[in-house]
Structure 1
Amino acid sequence: MATTDPSKYKLNHSMIRVKDPKRSVQFYEHLGMKLINKLENPDAKFDLYFLAYDSPKAVSHGNHWTDREGIVELTHNYGTENDPDYKVANGNEEPARGFGHLCISVDNLQAACQRIEEAGYRFQKKLSDGRMRHVAFALDPDGYWVEVIGQKKLEETESIKETDPATYRLNHTMIRVKDAETSLKFYQEVMGMRLLRESPHDTFSLYFLGYGPEASEAPDGVNPLARYEGLLELTWNHGTEKDADFKYHDGNSQPQGFGHICLSVDDLDAACQRFEEKGVQWKKRLTDGRMKNIAFVLDPDGYWIEVVQNEKLKTRANW
């Protein structure tokens, strides 16, 4: 009987829908990412673009796309680029709050933000805005938020004008959750992730989970997870768990935007059997529909989690 080891899973990618793939690919390439795969589906009238950090300095340089963490998948439905009324929901505005942002970590925070601004891209929050001077939020062409954090202390880089996008990481994906206790139990006990860092605040708490090792000590003022890729950040606004009517938007009901996160696993059939035994709620089992190489699990808030085979560990699909 096939077995599965959750410690071998990877948080492979996060999917967002885009209006114009040319503009979106150009933006993420400006952030230093590379188009590592494209899956065309002309019959169903959509294409998928997979971008990741792939320089020799990247964590997953040269790996098969299923054997990585920190990928962004752009989904383009044909014709949206010519529809003046088409607009994605970025997840940060009512009534579609749920998904929050992607995050990149960079070698030089000040220089990286200046480089993004000089390319003509907008910011939701610049480094100089507000009290938090160690974080910025750039806006991609569809208005999705992309957090920018530093891998070093600000004082170490403020006099340096250069930045090397080859050293960047797609650090994490943030989603809001209604009940932290329920979500943490799900992602740890069912999905096999580890809680790597907890950051409590007065009215909200942040939880960083992933499949990586425990974070080593970092200099004061530096996030010890900043050089990781493929983390999941859960944001819990205190009190939402007490409101029976409260619900976050999953990104797949209208208005659409964020689609899913995706795990690549060591043995797809065995992993799905394990999920079944854990009592998960399915959006799509492996046996449902025509696509037999993917499954979708629902997390406690209804976010979709795609599950695919890590093709380095076991060949299954001809992606």
Structure 2
Amino acid sequence: MNPTLDHTMMRVEDLDASLEWYRTHLDYEEKGRMEMDTFTNVYIGPEGLHEEGAVLELTYNHDDSTYELGDAWGHIAVRVDDVYDAYEELMEGGVEDYRDPDSCGGRYAFVTDPDGHEIEIVQRDHGARWSIDHTMVRVEDADAALGWYLRKLGFEMVRRAEMDDFALYFVKPEGAAEEAMSIELTYNYDGRSYELGDAWGHFAVMVDDLEDAWGTLMGRHAEDYRDPESCDYTYAFTRTNDGHEVEILDAWPDAVE
């Protein structure tokens, strides 16, 4: 499939307010836009994004929908040179104080955007400033989730952290650049279950050949959720064992809700 993690999609209730927030505080610029009759998709990211870097897709439905965050999706994480300096900059810019670096052991911090999506600030020595480092999702069975990503998508585990009461597993396409986004699988040992909500949409995997990749996924018994034919052969969707939607595309989508 030769996959690349292309973007993470979230739904917003006020597109102008969301765009202003990301432009003002994360220096994001518009990378692409799709205006449809019932919704608008805007793709944003920082200047100087690596060729394998992922962008953020903001989806605005024109029917004034409201959304529930749920807890199955966790956050996106963005890269900075110094987490303390970056957090102070955000506070001075008027961003609400959510979880400062001291409360996170000095290793990271969190803010929220206008729709309540959590954004982790992580210190990295690679990638454009504010570029997406990873997207975090919570999983109910770590072994099954890792098997899904490694077997279905052909990803590899690039980092792991085993704690007393939870574990973190970071996966991305084999051979992906350091600057590429990864997916963080968070597994809590207490056996809890999660609600997906609808404020988070999906993450997208770009492939060389959509129909060939879809055939591979079906051969590996991935869920046939929205096949290429139902999406005008521009993209398709499957779902992980935890129900997280995964878009498969071989070009920028014509329409994604």
Ranges in structure 1 where 5+ consecutive residues have no aligned partner:
1-5, 61-67, 81-85, 91-95, 153-164, 216-226, 241-245, 312-316
Alignment of 1:172-183 (within 5 A): 172-183=134-145
Q: Note the C-alpha offset of 1:208.
A: 0.5
Note if 1:16 corresponds to 2:10: yes
Q: Note the C-alpha offset of 1:123.
A: 3.2
Structure 1 partner of 2:121: 148
Work out which of the two has the higher radius of gyration on C-alpha atoms and give 1 or 2. 1
SS of the residue corresponding to residue 283 of structure 1 reads coil
* Cα 1:79/1:123, change in 2 over 3 Å: farther
Alignment of 1:179-194 (within 5 A): 179-194=141-156
Identity in percent = 26
Off by >6 Å, runs of 4+ in structure 1 = none
Is residue 294–residue 307 contact of structure 1 (8 Å, CA) maintained in 2? Answer: yes
Is residue 78–residue 132 contact of structure 2 (8 Å, CA) maintained in 1? Answer: yes
Q: Which one of the candidate residues 284, 290, 312 is aligned to 2:226?
A: 284
Structure 1 partner of 2:60: 76
Structure 2 partner of 1:32: 27
Ranges in structure 2 where 5+ consecutive residues have no aligned partner:
none
Q: How many residues align?
A: 253
Q: How big is each residue's C-alpha offset from its partner over 1:186-239, in whole Å with a ceiling of 9 and x where there is no partner?
A: 101111111000101001000011126489xxxxxxxxxxx6331100000114
CA RMSD, Structure 1 to Structure 2 (Å): 2.2
Q: Which one of the candidate residues 116, 136, 140 is aligned to 2:90?
A: 116
Within 1, Cα distance between the matches of 2:210 and 2:237?
12
* Cα 1:25/1:214, change in 2 over 3 Å: closer
Within 1, Cα distance between the matches of 2:3 and 2:108?
29
* Cα 1:194/1:262, change in 2 over 3 Å: same
SS of the residue corresponding to residue 98 of structure 2 reads strand
Of Structure 1 and Structure 2, the greater strand share is in: 2
Q: Note the C-alpha offset of 1:79.
A: 4.6
Q: Which one of the candidate residues 50, 57, 63 is aligned to 1:59?
A: 50
Within 1, Cα distance between the matches of 2:7 and 2:254?
18
Q: Note the C-alpha offset of 1:293.
A: 1.1
Within 2, Cα distance between the matches of 1:214 and 1:262?
15
Within 2, Cα distance between the matches of 1:77 and 1:295?
20
Within 1, Cα distance between the matches of 2:245 and 2:194?
13
Alignment of 1:157-306 (within 5 A): 167-211=129-173, 213=175, 228-240=179-191, 247-251=193-197, 256-288=198-230, 291-306=232-247
Aligned partner of 1:199: which letter? A
SS of the residue corresponding to residue 6 of structure 2 reads strand
* Cα 1:212/1:121, change in 2 over 3 Å: farther
Note if 1:88 corresponds to 2:62: no
